[in-house]
RNA sequence: GCCUGGAUGGCGGAACUGGUAGACGCAAGGGACUUAAAAUCCCUCGGUCGAAAGGCUGUGCGGGUUCGAUUCCCGCUCCAGGCACCA
């Protein structure tokens, strides 16, 4: 029996316990059933779940439960992306240990997720900060090192001298340290890199073989990899034996080069300036560059500037001499770290030449136009015929690209070349809370990996964090003092940790056998479960995380550990949950509960100062524009919270949070509850009707038809992840039943009533599992609802008796006619031409054309 | 700056392959029930003209293709995400 009122908190706890003790969501490899691996991006354990998590995991849970009802053996795991900077920041702020802080957060977040009733197999839970997890990451790192997939090189980091610490890009605000506010400089450090560029071509090729991914994501990845074809051209240097290799996509314009520009870090810059009058200026420029932020955004928005090195380069085709500059718009990591400047045919070069008064010779003349160096307002980047280009003059510029590259190759001064924008993946972090890099530096033997039997290299738990945010590992002798595994002499352990993207690049494999102690994963388990059938997570991960995971899978494939290259067959990128930010002058970003919105101007509850309302942005802990779902859980329960998240917007769309509307979802559940109450007595004794529609009449017929139509619609909508419209469809069904009752056409047939309530329970069970289970049980339904089969619909029960045809005249709606469902085209046309509303607009005009869309619309064209 | 998306009533959204724009829900207004309130139920609800019937207009802006465009094409504007050390 159902209680008179819907009491979510009681019901939810009861069924969660019941499912838990029955092990309903535990899964094992089962060859009898088709497998389905559903994965949601695991969370960083920040302490509290936020609406973004609730949304992401609700979407995943609905799909997991739906697939299970459709007969799949569903793997649906959850865990924690537990290493990362916030733990260190919190540790400094609250004087706790990152580990203690992290594990506490995991405990409280696990509780919250459990309250939401997600169908996870909690036996598979993992946390990346445990030695059981990261030892396999270290093991893999060493294998990659042995295969040459890992190397070291010098590169720059943001460094704050007063704090003596490396800063993340996020920790640099307008070129200054977030902690002390002083200017940040670029410091060179030796760092570890993964050779992801080895796979650039393969990662690119497979972007077109991922039909289950949104095209926008593969497009973004293609652009990120950024393949370009062109040529490497070697310019000579006056007075020197060596030369400068430039990469260009426009070898056809080589004779139009009026300068060569090097990246500031290019090794030749100081060498070329040495001993000439430009030396001091070059030095000043490099000093300035060392203070400039190195994010792509900063580089590309900064004004193009450069400095003459005092040396000249020799054009290998024209033999001309051009000045060599160093410039802030040339990236050392891309191409060769040097470009040739062709102002007439490249806008960036045009701007640079304008600033430094460099000539801009025209070498490509477009058809029907005459470019003139003196009067050009912008670069010409289109096609044309080569001029002033030695023996290549008169040639079509596209043909010349190959011709010039071939010519250069013959002269040993260049060749055709491909370049990728993608750079190798730098993974060294000068931080504490991460996976220790399992390497030892020995003065005698060089770099030696930690022997496998010594893994894991554990993070020392007694390390006290430094107030400035620096890693304690570098000054913790008990950690770094080791003996060399090769020669036994004193050596130093690597004190850097890995980028946390490394952990998330293979966790999906570990879920298949999370407790495996002898290997990174159990190969049979991985062979059964992988690849992930459906991966769900925020769009913000469209490039980096997903690309790194694809790369890791390739590395493992090359190692022979897995036999597939792509980890995720289908991808759903959900939109972000956004909210406006609130800032107080004194206290910075404020949580919504720290703002008093009751006055005309919002007030900071800490100091009483007015609060300024900022842009609507992705909810994030650092911006504090987060909504705490526990408030909703306490008030409405998990089912209403889940229902609202799905109903508010389709998954791929961003969701601007508003508190209103949750009430409506709660109201809907209460409405369904009352519907169940109304029919429970008759339905409990009945068997669900499963006969022909034709055998029913009146309200029974309408309700039965509407129920089947709804079953069909909901299945179709869930299949394409349109949960909001699926829910709307059930709302319409419920409304129709109530409306029929109002009209005196209430359900008479007990079997139809039972079929209705059962169908609603089954259809809504992935969304509101506790609620539907309670009603199901009240009808006398046995067992766990999540284990039942998805309802089927009868084709004969979908048939309407009549159709509504819209009548347009010249594309404007003029009338509607109702016709028998089997009306043929001729009778539809005749009815439309006779429709009163249409006739008025046809008077005195000639009917030129009649377009009939069968069963839907007639458009009469008159003139 | 570059790459990728998005924009529809007061609000969230719907319209699946070009075919009734605004389903479903929120908010608002009116009514019923109630001593009253809550809950519930019913009605109205893009703008504009009109007493009504009905007309005109309307999917960020400007063009185009089409019998017909929220949907396709071209050119913009604004917003969001990513840009390699936030995750």
d(CA A246, CA A573): 39
Residue nearest to nucleotide B81 (CA to C1'): A540
Same domain, A188 and A318: no
**Domain limit, last residue, from A420, A444, A466:** A420
Q: What is the pLDDT of residue A584?
A: 83
The pLDDT tens digits of the residues spanning A301-323 come to: 888 889 999 999 999 999 999 99
Cβ of A613 near strand B (under 7 Å)? The reply is no
Q: Look at residue A714 and tell me if it is in a domain.
A: yes
Which residues of A fall in the annotated binding site?
Answer: 621
CA of A302, C1' of B1: distance in angstroms: 8
d(CA A371, CA A388): 13
Q: What is the pLDDT of residue A600?
A: 65
Cβ of A661 near strand B (under 7 Å)? The reply is yes
H or E segment to which residue A36 belongs: strand A35-40
Q: What is the CATH number of the domain that holds A831?
A: 3.10.20.590
Q: Look at residue A631 and tell me if it is in a domain.
A: no
Same domain, A143 and A130: no
Cβ of A332 near strand B (under 7 Å)? The reply is no
Cβ of A555 near strand B (under 7 Å)? The reply is no
Q: What is the pLDDT of residue A466?
A: 75
d(CA A78, CA A301): 41
Half-sphere exposure of A843 (CA within 13 A, CB side): 5
Size of chain A, expressed as the number of residues it contains = 863
d(CA A645, CA A481): 52
Cβ of A656 near strand B (under 7 Å)? The reply is yes
**DSSP assignment of A87-133, as one string?**
HHHHHHHHT--HHHHHHHHHHHHHHHHHHTT----GGG-EETTSHHH
Q: Look at residue A13 and tell me if it is in a domain.
A: no
Residue nearest to nucleotide B23 (CA to C1'): A728
Q: What is the pLDDT of residue A299?
A: 82
Q: What is the CATH number of the domain that holds A62?
A: 3.40.50.620
Q: Which of residues 498-517 of A touch strand B (CB under 7 A)?
A: 499-501, 504
Q: How far apart are the first and last CA of chain A?
A: 67
A704-A706-A711 Cα angle (round to 5): 95
Edge-first strand order for the sheet with A812-820 is A812-820, A802-809, A857-862, A847-853
Q: Look at residue A638 and tell me if it is in a domain.
A: no
Q: Look at residue A651 and tell me if it is in a domain.
A: no
d(CA A380, CA A346): 7
Cβ of A653 near strand B (under 7 Å)? The reply is yes
Residue A375: which residues within 8 A CB-CB, separation 6 or more? none
Q: What is the pLDDT of residue A639?
A: 97
The pLDDT tens digits of the residues spanning A96-153 come to: 899 999 999 999 999 999 999 999 999 999 999 999 999 999 999 999 999 999 999 9
Q: Look at residue A635 and tell me if it is in a domain.
A: no
Which residues of A fall in the annotated binding site for ATP?
Answer: 621
CA of A564, C1' of B21: distance in angstroms: 47
Q: Which of residues 398-437 of A touch strand B (CB under 7 A)?
A: 421-423, 425-426, 428-431
Q: Does the N-terminal peptide bond of residue A456 adopt cis geometry, omega within 30 degrees of 0?
A: yes
Can you list the pairs that A679-683 forms with residues at least 24 positions away whose Cβ atoms lie under 8 Å?
A679/A747, A679/A753, A679/A754, A679/A756, A679/A757, A680/A1, A680/A2, A680/A757, A680/A778, A680/A779, A682/A750, A682/A753, A682/A754, A683/A750, A683/A753, A683/A754, A683/A757, A683/A779
What positions of strand B are covered by protein, i.e. any atom < 7 Å from a CB?
Answer: 1-6, 11-16, 19-21, 23-27, 39-42, 55-56, 67-69, 79-87
CA of A277, C1' of B53: distance in angstroms: 91
Cβ of A470 near strand B (under 7 Å)? The reply is no
Cβ of A46 near strand B (under 7 Å)? The reply is no
CA of A622, C1' of B70: distance in angstroms: 37
Same domain, A832 and A783: no
Nucleotide lying nearest to A81, CA to C1' measure: B87
CA of A860, C1' of B65: distance in angstroms: 20
Residue nearest to nucleotide B82 (CA to C1'): A540
Nucleotide lying nearest to A298, CA to C1' measure: B1
Same domain, A303 and A286: yes
Same domain, A460 and A586: no
Cβ of A847 near strand B (under 7 Å)? The reply is no
Q: What is the pLDDT of residue A792?
A: 94
Same domain, A754 and A823: no
Cβ of A713 near strand B (under 7 Å)? The reply is yes
pTM assigned to the model: 0.94
Q: What is the CATH number of the domain that holds A748?
A: 1.10.730.10
Q: Which domain holds residue A464?
A: 137-195+424-498
Residue whose structure tokens are 């956004």? A578
d(CA A497, CA A509): 22
CA of A116, C1' of B14: distance in angstroms: 28
Can you point out the beta strands (E) in A342-407? 364-365, 385-386
**Phi and psi torsions of A150, nearest 5°:** -125, 140
A660: left (phi over 0), alpha (psi -120 to 50) or beta: beta
**Domain limit, last residue, from A498, A531, A547:** A498
Q: Which two tokens stand for residue A255?
A: 């004779």
Same domain, A256 and A298: yes
Same domain, A158 and A261: no
DSSP secondary structure code for residue A428 in this structure: E
Cβ of A305 near strand B (under 7 Å)? The reply is no
Q: Which of residues 721-750 of A touch strand B (CB under 7 A)?
A: 722, 724-725, 727-728, 731-732, 735, 738-739, 742
d(CA A575, CA A584): 28
Q: Which two tokens stand for residue A814?
A: 């003029």
**Phi and psi torsions of A415, nearest 5°:** -170, 165
Same domain, A459 and A357: no
Same domain, A475 and A461: yes
Same domain, A589 and A606: yes
Strands A73-75 and A35-40: parallel
Q: Which residues in chain A come in under a pLDDT of 50?
A: none
Nucleotide lying nearest to A858, CA to C1' measure: B19
Cβ of A304 near strand B (under 7 Å)? The reply is no
CA of A828, C1' of B57: distance in angstroms: 30
Q: Which of residues 168-197 of A touch strand B (CB under 7 A)?
A: 168-171, 189, 191
Q: Does the N-terminal peptide bond of residue A790 adopt cis geometry, omega within 30 degrees of 0?
A: no
**DSSP assignment of A492-554, as one string?**
EE---EE-TTTGGGTHHHHTTSTT-SSSSS-HHHHHHHPSEEEEEEEGGGTTHHHHHHHHHHH
Nucleotide lying nearest to A226, CA to C1' measure: B3
Q: Which residues pair with A39 in a beta bridge?
A: A535
**Domain limit, last residue, from A393, A420, A447:** A420
Q: What is the pLDDT of residue A784?
A: 94
User: How many domains are there within chain A?
Assistant: 6
Cβ of A662 near strand B (under 7 Å)? The reply is no
CA of A26, C1' of B23: distance in angstroms: 39
Q: Look at residue A219 and tell me if it is in a domain.
A: no
Counts of helices then strands in chain A (DSSP H, E): 25, 37
Q: Look at residue A11 and tell me if it is in a domain.
A: no
Same domain, A531 and A493: no
């Amino acid at each position: 029996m159902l209680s008179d009122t819907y009491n979510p908190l009681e019901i939810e706890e009861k069924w969660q316990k019941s499912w838990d003790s029955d092990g309903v969501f535990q899964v094992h490899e089962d060859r009898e059933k088709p497998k389905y691996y559903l994965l949601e991006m695991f969370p960083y354990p920040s302490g509290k779940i936020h609406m973004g998590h609730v949304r992401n995991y609700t979407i995943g849970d609905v799909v997991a439960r739906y697939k299970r009802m459709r007969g799949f053996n569903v793997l649906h795991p959850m865990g924690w992306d537990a290493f990362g900077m916030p733990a260190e920041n919190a540790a400094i702020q609250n004087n706790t240990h990152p580990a203690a802080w992290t594990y506490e957060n995991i405990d409280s977040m696990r509780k919250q997720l459990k309250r939401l009733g997600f169908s996870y197999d909690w036996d598979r839970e993992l946390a990346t900060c445990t030695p059981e997890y990261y030892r396999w990451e270290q093991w893999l790192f060493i294998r990659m090192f042995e295969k040459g997939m890992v190397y070291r090189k010098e590169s720059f980091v943001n460094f704050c001298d007063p704090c003596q610490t490396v800063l993340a890009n996020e920790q640099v605000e307008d070129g200054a340290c977030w902690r002390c506010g002083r200017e940040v400089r670029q410091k060179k450090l030796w760092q570890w890199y993964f050779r992801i560029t080895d796979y650039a071509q393969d990662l690119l090729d497979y972007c077109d073989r991922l039909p289950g991914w949104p095209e926008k994501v593969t497009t973004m990845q293609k652009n990120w990899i950024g393949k370009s074809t062109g040529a490497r051209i070697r310019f000579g240097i006056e007075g020197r034996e060596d030369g400068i290799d430039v990469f260009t996509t426009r070898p056809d314009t080589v004779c139009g080069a009026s300068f060569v520009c090097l990246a500031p870090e290019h090794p030749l810059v100081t060498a070329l300036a040495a001993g000439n009058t430009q030396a001091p200026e070059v030095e000043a420029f490099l000093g300035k560059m060392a203070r400039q932020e190195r994010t792509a955004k900063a580089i590309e928005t900064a004004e193009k500037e450069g400095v003459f090195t005092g040396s000249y380069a020799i054009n290998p085709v024209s033999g001309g001499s051009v000045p060599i500059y160093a410039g802030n718009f040339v990236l050392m990591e891309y191409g060769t770290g040097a470009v040739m400047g062709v102002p007439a045919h490249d806008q960036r070069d045009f701007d640079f030449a304008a600033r430094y008064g460099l000539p801009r010779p025209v070498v490509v003349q477009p058809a029907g136009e005459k470019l003139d160096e003196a009067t050009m307002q912008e670069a010409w980047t289109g096609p044309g015929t080569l001029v002033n280009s030695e023996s290549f003059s008169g040639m079509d510029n596209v043909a010349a690209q190959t011709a010039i590259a071939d010519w250069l190759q013959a002269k040993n001064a260049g060749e055709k070349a491909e370049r990728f924008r993608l750079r190798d993946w730098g993974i060294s972090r000068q931080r504490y809370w991460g996976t220790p890099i399992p390497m030892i530096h020995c003065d005698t033997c060089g770099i030696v990996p930690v022997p496998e039997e010594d893994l894991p290299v554990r993070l020392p738990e007694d390390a006290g964090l430094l107030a400035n945010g620096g890693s304690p590992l570098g000054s913790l002798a008990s950690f770094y003092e080791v003996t060399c595994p090769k020669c036994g002499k004193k050596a130093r352990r690597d004190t850097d940790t890995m980028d946390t993207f490394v952990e998330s690049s293979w966790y999906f494999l570990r879920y298949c056998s999370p407790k495996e102690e002898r290997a990174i994963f159990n190969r049979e388990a991985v062979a059964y479960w992988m690849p992930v059938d459906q991966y769900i997570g925020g769009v913000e991960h469209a490039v980096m995380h997903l690309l790194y995971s694809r790369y890791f899978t390739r590395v493992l494939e090359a190692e022979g550990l897995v036999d597939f290259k792509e980890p995720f067959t289908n991808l759903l990128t959900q939109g972000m949950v956004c909210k406006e930010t609130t800032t107080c002058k004194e206290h910075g970003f404020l949580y919504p509960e720290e703002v008093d919105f009751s006055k005309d101007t919002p007030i900071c509850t800490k100091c009483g100062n007015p609060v300024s309302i900022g842009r609507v942005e992705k909810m994030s802990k650092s911006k504090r524009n987060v909504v705490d779902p526990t408030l909703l859980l306490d008030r409405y329960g998990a089912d209403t919270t889940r229902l609202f998240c799905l109903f508010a917007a389709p998954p791929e769309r961003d969701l601007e949070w508003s508190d209103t509307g949750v009430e409506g979802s709660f109201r809907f559940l209460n409405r369904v509850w009352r519907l169940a109450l109304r029919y429970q007595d008759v339905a409990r004794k009945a068997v669900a009707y499963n006969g022909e529609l034709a055998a029913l009449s009146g309200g029974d017929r309408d309700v039965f038809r509407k129920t089947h139509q709804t079953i069909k619609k909901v299945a179709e909508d869930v299949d394409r992840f349109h949960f909001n419209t699926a829910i709307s469809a059930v709302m319409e069904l419920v409304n129709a039943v109530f409306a029929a009752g109002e009209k005196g056409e209430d359900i008479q047939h007990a079997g139809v009533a039972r079929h209705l309530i059962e169908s609603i329970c089954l259809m809504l069970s992935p969304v509101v599992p506790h609620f539907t289970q309670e009603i199901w049980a009240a009808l006398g339904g046995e067992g766990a609802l999540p284990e039942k089969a998805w309802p089927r619909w009868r084709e004969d029960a979908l048939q309407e008796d009549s159709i509504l045809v819209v009548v347009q005249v010249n594309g404007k709606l003029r009338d509607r006619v109702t016709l028998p469902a089997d009306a043929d085209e001729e009778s539809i046309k005749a009815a439309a031409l006779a429709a009163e509303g249409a006739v008025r607009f046809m008077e005195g005009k000639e009917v030129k054309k009649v377009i009939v869309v069968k069963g839907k619309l007639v458009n009469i064209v008159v003139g």
